[in-house]
Amino acid sequence: MSELSWWVLAACLSAYAIKLCGYFVPRKVLDSPIMSHVASTLTVALLASLVTVNAFTSGQELVIDARIGALGAAIIALVFKAPYLVVVLVGALAAILLRATGLAA
């Protein structure tokens, strides 16, 4: 096995061990209102950071292209409380139109 294979195996075992530790957390802790609030807030924060990184970067560089326009269109659809599938389609169509018209790379 190569050195990379050992690192991948170690990462998999570590992830499994962390998941297994979750079964030992008492139910009282998991059902507390504070833990529910932290879990929901953390989920939104992680998703927002993932969207931001994917929209504004390419590799190690900051870029301005059609993804930013698509993100803006999707945000507008969210403001109007569109269903999730409509938000995704609006974002995709905005990116297509921006690239087709040459307004964004």
Q: Which residue has the tokens 């139109």?
A: 97
- Does residue 13 belong to any structural domain of this protein? no
Task: Work out how many domains the chain is built from and give that number.
Answer: 1
- Does residue 75 belong to any structural domain of this protein? yes
- Does residue 28 belong to any structural domain of this protein? no
Q: For 37-59, what is the mean pLDDT?
A: 89
d(CA 52, CA 45): 11
- Does residue 98 belong to any structural domain of this protein? yes
- Does residue 78 belong to any structural domain of this protein? yes
Mean per-residue pLDDT of the chain: 90
Lowest mean pLDDT among 14-23, 50-59, 66-75: 50-59
- Does residue 1 belong to any structural domain of this protein? no
Q: Count of CB atoms within 10 A of residue 51's CB?
A: 14
Give residue 79's domain range.
64-105
Which of 47, 49, 52, 77 minimizes the C-alpha distance to 63?
Answer: 52
91: buried, middle or exposed (CB in 10 Å: 19+, 13-18, 0-12)? buried
- Token pair, residue 67, equals 């993804």
- The model's pTM is 0.60
- Does residue 76 belong to any structural domain of this protein? yes
pLDDT, residue 51, reads 87
pLDDT, residue 105, reads 65
At residue 36's C-alpha, the angle toward residues 39 and 17, to 5°, is 50
d(CA 72, CA 83): 16
- Does residue 43 belong to any structural domain of this protein? no
Taking the chain, what is the end-to-end CA distance rounded to the nearest angstrom? 43
